[in-house]
Amino acid sequence: MKPSIDIVKWRCAGCYGCFNACKDDAIEMMLNDEGFIEPIVNREVCRECGLCQEHCPMIKAVYPEQQLEKPKAFAAWSKDDEIRVQSSSGGVFTEIARVVLNEGGAVFGACFDYSSLTVKHTLVDNFETLEILRGSKYIQSRVGDAYENVTRVAKQGKPILFSGTPCQVAALNTFLEKMDARVRSNVFTCDVICHGVASETVFKSYLHHISELKRSKVVKISFRDKSISWREYGIKITFSNGKEYFRPHWEDPFMVGYLKNIYLRLSCYDCPFAKIPRISDITIGDFWGVPEELDDPRGVSVLIVNTTKGEKLLDRVSNIEKVPISIEQVSLHNPRIANGRLRINPDRSKFYELLKAKGFQAAANKYLKPTPEHQKAILKAKLIVSRMFRK
């Protein structure tokens, strides 16, 4: 058995395109040494039909139809305060999904699987269950056979909203390209403004460390808890014994390492889809650098409409506020909208070596400390946080 399809290993995005394309079950998705899912091909079963390469977006990128000459950008948020507060930023995804569900459709997105402490893509066909798809995940979801399921449901004439990272949407596009135009028109794609995906191995090591401190199992994770505010978000972990862990993002070791680019997937450092033109009908994310007059501690989303199909879908979404903003302005503090390159942290290899040799705590103590510019913010927030979450 040999790793990967006919692609340089570091370019693989782990998007599951090849896995969904293979008709002979010759591909298995497995964790590599750094904690990222990648395809392993069973050469004894493989017929070398080439379908895997046809559906690898890193080899062949397929962009959506009816692209606008220039994407339209907005500052946006849900008019429903409860949805806005419960979402990572402004709650725009929930309102778009609500429209699709109200029209008898289905939504595919990422949710936590707490039994395995992984993230997976799943289908939601009712508003009551939609909440499992809300919120940022930061580690890569296991797509499974989601692309096959999208095409299956779309052929039934139902509207579909697929949400994922840019590489996952790019993989789905390779399947949509081969579908009848009428069926294809039922599928709306939404990519998130993605900084990159973190190592699943590192994430589980981090959770294991926190669980040992709390002497209990994880039952819920919120990467973007707004107990302080949207800008001062933190990680909140709830345990089966009722205890909670909370740290602001600048103090939590996992988030510090993520934002320092220490353990992102190698392909994320030069992502071909984190730029304009975008790979989806609609792009959403946090509006960092939002103009002062629009800033709100409950959260503000960036909403980018990339295609006429995306425009038509947004026309049916009445429960969001939208304020037009230039692409240049929304990209200013959100470089992953228009620039796919990230600097690889020089400590990346050393971090992995220490993690494997001595565990998460040792690696965190050496490499995952808050940056100097965050020290003042930490001191200021400690008093607030200590009052809200007693150890």
Q: Is the pLDDT of residue 391 over 50?
A: no
Confidence band of 375 (pLDDT split at 50, 70, 90): low
Contacts 24+ apart (CB under 8 A), 212-217: 213/245, 214/239, 214/241, 214/243, 214/245, 215/241, 216/240, 216/241, 216/243
Strand 187-192 relative to strand 282-286, pairing: parallel
Calculate the CA 137 to chain-centre distance.
6
The whole-angstrom separation of Cα 120 and Cα 141 is 5
What are the residues facing 322 on neighbouring strands? 76
pLDDT digits (tens, 9 = 90+) for 220-262: 999 999 988 998 899 999 999 999 999 999 999 999 999 999 9
For residue 328, give the amino acid letter.
E
C-alpha distance across the termini of the chain, in Å: 49
Residues 6 or more apart whose CB falls under 8 angstroms from that of 251 comprise 234, 370, 374, 378, 381
pLDDT digits (tens, 9 = 90+) for 261-275: 999 999 999 999 999
The whole-angstrom separation of Cα 182 and Cα 173 is 15
Q: Is the pLDDT of residue 5 over 70?
A: no
pLDDT for the residue 370: 82
- Calculate the CA dihedral of residues 142, 304, 257, 208 and round it to 10 degrees: -40
CATH class of 67-197+265-337: alpha beta
Q: Is the pLDDT of residue 345 over 70?
A: yes
Average pLDDT over residues 118-134: 96
pLDDT for the residue 374: 55
Cα-based angle 107, 113, 119 (whole degrees, multiple of 5): 70
Q: What single string gives the DSSP state of each residue in 273-312?
A: TSSSSPSSSEEEEE-TT--GGG--TT--EEEEEEEHHHHH
Q: Is the pLDDT of residue 97 over 60?
A: yes
Would you tell me how many other CB atoms lie within 10 Å of the CB of residue 309?
20
- The single residue listed with the structure tokens 């990209």 is 331
For the chain, what are the domain ranges? Answer: 2-42+49-54, 67-197+265-337, 200-263+346-388
pLDDT for the residue 9: 67
